[in-house]
Amino acid sequence: MSKLLEVKDLRASYGAVRVLHGLAFSLDEGGVTTLLGANGAGKTTALRALCGMVKCSGEILFEGKNLVGRSTEDIARLGVAHVPEGRGTFTSMTVEENLHLGAISRSDKGNIQKDIDKMYDHFPRLRQRRTQQAGTLSGGEQQMLAIARALMLRPRLMLLDEPSFGLAPLVVKEMFEILSVLNREDKASMLIVEQNAALALGIADEAYLLETGSIVMSGPAKQIGADENVRRSYLGY
């Protein structure tokens, strides 16, 4: 399998505080990679660096193109869809308008309505709420809307920041099932940042462990999940 994303020596800082100290990770075409780590390890910053929301140095090769220094909107137009922490939905707009916005940079206008219907099939709850303001949805529904909106871009790569954040265990389970279906059936490549390591390792092919801005361990997800020592010292379960 060819590499869809290859990150080398990624460094970023907020003012004088260095947050990432030279990360290197990669993602296969059609694969799922997860970045794990505790609060403050730099997971969110790594994702934000990938889509141009934080200044960074190093190399981020996406389909051979370096993303470092590109603007967020250009990166989105290259096919990178980011589902940010806290979801970033357009709360004052309706569910359907949010989905339309996800596809706003696409040029194949004819297929958009078809894709919206597809999203409603994946997430039937959104169909019921299509004319409702997104801010009135429950946390789980908003997260689903955020994922659906990202999919509307027909992304080559999806970046998911803490998709389980603030959701009830049942909802989380349902959502990861949907993500796994999307990965299998639509061949969506995903980079998932999670604190809930067990869940993320269940869906991922590759895993990287982050500790205060550096990668301390990496490998196939199964192997990392099975390693007793790793589990106890880093994953806490």
Partner 1 sequence: MELFTQQVLAGIATGAIYACMALAVVMIYQAINHLNFAQGEMAMFSTFIAWQFLEWGLPYWLAFILTVIVSFVAGVAIERVVFKPIENAPVLSHVVIFIALYSVINSAAGFIWDFTVKSFPSPFGSSPLFGSSLISAHQGGMVAVTLALLLLLYMFFSYTRVGLAMRAAAANPASARLVGIRVSWMTALGWGMAAALGSIAGMLIAPVVFLEPNMMISILLYGFAGAVLGGLTSPGGAVLGGFAVGVIENLAGTYIPVVGSELKLPIALVVIVVVLVFKPAGLFGRVVVSRV
Provide the binding-site residues for partner 1, judged by CB under 8 A. Answer: 51, 53, 71-73, 76-77, 81-82, 84, 88-93, 97, 100-102, 104-105, 109, 133, 135-138, 149, 153
Residue labelled with tokens 């990965």: 183
Residue closer to partner 1 (CB basis): 136 or 233: 136
Distance of closest approach, residue 140 Cβ to partner 1, in angstroms: 12
Task: Give min distance, CB of 131 to partner 1, in A.
Answer: 13
Nearest to 38 by CA among 234, 219, 200: 234
In the bound state with partner 1, the residue whose beta carbon lies nearer, of 139 and 236, is 139
For the bound state, the minimum distance from the C-beta of residue 182 to partner 1, rounded and expressed in Å, comes to 18
Q: What is the DSSP letter of 135?
A: G
Give CA separation, 96 vs 26, 81, 134, 152, in Å: 34, 18, 9, 11
Q: Would you say 93 or 203 has its CB closer to partner 1?
A: 93
Strands (E), 29-114: 32-36, 56-62, 65-66, 80-83
Residues constituting the chain: 237
CB of 152 to partner 1, least distance (A): 8
Minimum CB–partner distance for residue 100 and partner 1 (Å): 6
Q: Which is nearer to partner 1, 43 or 149 (CB)?
A: 149
Phi-psi sector, 15: left (phi>0), alpha (psi -120 to 50), beta: left
Q: For the CA atoms of 122, 152, 138, 95, what is the dihedral angle to 10 degrees?
A: -110
How many CB atoms sit inside 10 A of residue 50's CB? 23
- Residue 12 or residue 207: which is nearer to partner 1 going by CB? 12
Residue with tokens 């934000």: 48
